[in-house]
Amino acid sequence: MANRTAPFGIRVVEVFQTGFAGYTANIVPLTLAAAATLVTYMGFRLPAAALARDATVVGSIVLDVAGLLVASVVAHPWFAYALAAGDGTAVDVRQPFRHTRGFAAHAVGSIWFWAGALLGLRYLYGIPSIFVVVFYAFYGYVVADGTTNGGLKALGASVRLGEGRRIGLFALAALFAVFNLFGAIALGFGVNVLTGALAFVGVIVTSNITMVGGARTYRTLQRQAAS
């Protein structure tokens, strides 16, 4: 599969090669951005899991949703850095923080994205969530790119970029998901401090490779849409 050309005109192996090269060339800012996002999410996920064990279901769900939304906003610089890394340009660490509108747009887009994804999990065995991911997968890159104003417009731009390429994007998203599972493989040997730390580092590495690879895919679709 890695040697085939995807429907959107880029070989899957090139996506991963760009992801690896972009991450290693910008390892410090990308690692810090990924760590900030994951730590933010885990800061909500762990208490949510504790509430679930205590049968406090509503509180657990509220914390989980809040964690997804807050972590998505925190991820705004991560998308910006991944986009620069995918372009092969130097990462400007301060660029995402020069204006607050990127964070605001990411917040709005994230609300609708996660609302659709979580709602989709409740029906038809979660299949609607797959459509949400495939349709709106690029909204974070659109926001970071600054090509549209507002989170809703970023969601719409993501939909347009994927037109006629849904199957290929689904296949790529599935590959990314499996690849990131390998990052957390240490947890398969038991959950403790050591395996947790190894999984944390592993997921940071694999998620950065897929983030930069996703940025490369976004640029490819963007060029095709403009031609």
d(CA 111, CA 113): 6
In 3-state terms, the chain is what percent helix, strand and coil (to 5)? 80, 0, 20
Start-to-end C-alpha separation, the chain: 27
Per-residue pLDDT tens, the chain, 227 aa: give them. 344 445 556 788 889 999 999 999 999 999 999 999 999 999 988 888 887 777 676 777 888 888 889 999 999 999 999 999 999 988 999 999 988 888 999 999 998 888 888 777 776 667 778 878 888 889 999 999 988 878 889 989 898 888 878 888 888 888 999 999 998 888 888 778 888 899 999 999 999 999 999 999 999 988 887 77
pTM of the predicted model as reported, rounded to 2 decimal places: 0.89
Cβ atoms of residues 47 and 63 within 8 Å: yes
